[in-house]
Amino acid sequence: MGIISSFQNIFKIPELKNRVLFTLALLAVYRIGAHIPTPGINGEALSEFLAQSGASALMGFFDMFSGGALSRVTIFALGIMPYISASIILQLLTVVIPAIGKIAKEGEAGRKKIVRYTRYGTIVISVIQSFGIAVGLESMQNGAFIQNPGWSFRLLTMLTLTSGTAFIMWLGEQITERGIGNGISLIIFAGIVARFPSAIITTVRLLQAGELSIFFVVFLVVMMIAVVGAIIYMERGQRKIPVQYAKRVVGRKVYGGQSTHLPLKINTAGVIPPIFASSIIMFPATVAGFIAIPWVQAVARQLSPGTVLYTMLYVGMIIFFAFFYTAIIFNPVDIADNLKKYGGYIPGIRPGQKTSEYIYKVLSRLTFVGAFYLAAVCIIPEILIGRFNVPFYFGGTSLLIAVGVALDTVSQIESHLITRSYEGFLKKGRIKGRKG
């Protein structure tokens, strides 16, 4: 009853109710758009062909992020991946190019410039990717899925898919600004969750037909529950570094003297590393799958989920981006300087450089554990699909994103409730939100 009453409290706060309803409305718009076909393409015949071809596992993985829009080649076929790719490039450039790094540190004005550059990058990447898809579709089965091949079809497809991605980007920004939660994350979440009902129906049909055993289905359900539990446990895990503030006398008042802690999450980077890693690997493999050239098809097969090369690249990139993204969003030197400025110190550690070195050492160990936790969770689908022939693309990546985004959104809703003196979803303690 506690959780039900907490949901009821959402609608007692006009501002929070409007934010939640606004978010749900825009997500509904996104899901409707994911079913609008791209002009000039026989989407049903193409979906059937892709489902029966060897690229089905790869399409299933890409579809996990687009909510099934890619396999049907709808107006949202590119999904939000171009935006994520542009974000990756901009964040890499902030480290490589000092001028862009300086812009990123200019506060709100710098953030707006980076956002603007990210939008431009999203459009450029969308144009390139949509052109590749258009050319690839024309070469598949000698253009059997295209009504009028040629430059008119290519330009129309480029315009349609690029506009679709730009619209999704706008939806995400509107949700972040006027809704609840992170808009881009919620759009990916909606695409993942939208696949669950069809996956359940497919599993039940295979079970009734005798193609799957009841023991395997039970095993699959138990493992999914275990993975969700592990994700929740690790996402909420923290290392609390004790911090003591010295007493300061200002006039007749005494400031400081209290003890607190600096919370460091096990997985500081959140769901960003697997999203970054998959976006880098997925698109080249997907485009290669559309091109009917033997050696290109061989590359596509090697980069498909389940292969040794794909798994090694995926794990390596997840670990790299876990460290890389943590280094971007968490600076031990700035933390140490702020502690020193306000009279704070870690017991047994000298303020200044020694404090930053200590924080960096602890953060590196936590990130190492968090990176391997992410990699372990994300390669579960490779084992299932490769060895047990799971009838749908179940995976740690999808569960990780779904659970992580759900925890983050619930945490924000709970913050609104507690701010207005309503009880949150958990009476004994708040849900700890994620960074990233």
| DSSP 8-state code for residue 385 | I
Q: Which residue has the tokens 């939640």?
A: 20
Provide the Cα torsion 130, 133, 134, 138; round to 10°: 180
Query: 295 in a domain, yes or no?
Result: yes
Average pLDDT over residues 227-243: 84
Sign of CA dihedral 407, 411, 412, 416: positive
Burial of residue 371 (CB within 10 Å: 0-12, 13-18, 19+) is buried
Structure tokens at 352: 């200044």
Average pLDDT over residues 387-392: 60
Q: Flag whether pLDDT at 36 surpasses 50.
A: yes
Structure tokens at 216: 């395997």
Rounded to whole angstroms, what are the CA distances from 354 to 313, 347, 351, 360?
36, 12, 6, 10
Report the CATH number that the domain containing residue 254 is assigned in CATH: 1.10.3370.10
Apex CA 105: angle with CA 104 and CA 110, to 5°? 50
Phi, psi for residue 432 in degrees, rounded to 5: -80, 125
Query: 300 in a domain, yes or no?
Result: yes
pTM (two decimals):
0.74
Q: How many domains does the chain have?
A: 1
Query: 94 in a domain, yes or no?
Result: yes
The separation between CA 220 and the C-alpha centre of its own chain, rounded to angstroms, equals 23
134-155 burial: b if 16+ Cβ within 10 Å, else e: bbbbbebeeeebbeebeeebbe
- Minimum mean pLDDT range among 67-76, 220-229, 327-336, 365-374: 67-76
Tell me the range of 43-47, 108-112, 235-239, 316-320 where mean pLDDT is highest: 316-320
Query: 424 in a domain, yes or no?
Result: no
pLDDT at 60: 55
254-278 burial: b if 16+ Cβ within 10 Å, else e: eeeeeeeebebbbbbbbbbbbbbbb
- Minimum mean pLDDT range among 164-173, 239-248, 268-277, 278-287: 278-287
The domain in which residue 279 lies consists of 2-419
Query: 243 in a domain, yes or no?
Result: yes
Query: 11 in a domain, yes or no?
Result: yes
The mean predicted confidence, pLDDT, of the chain is: 77
Query: 431 in a domain, yes or no?
Result: no
Query: 281 in a domain, yes or no?
Result: yes
Q: How far, in Å, CA of 333 to CA of 360, rounded?
A: 8
- Minimum mean pLDDT range among 31-45, 171-185, 415-429: 415-429
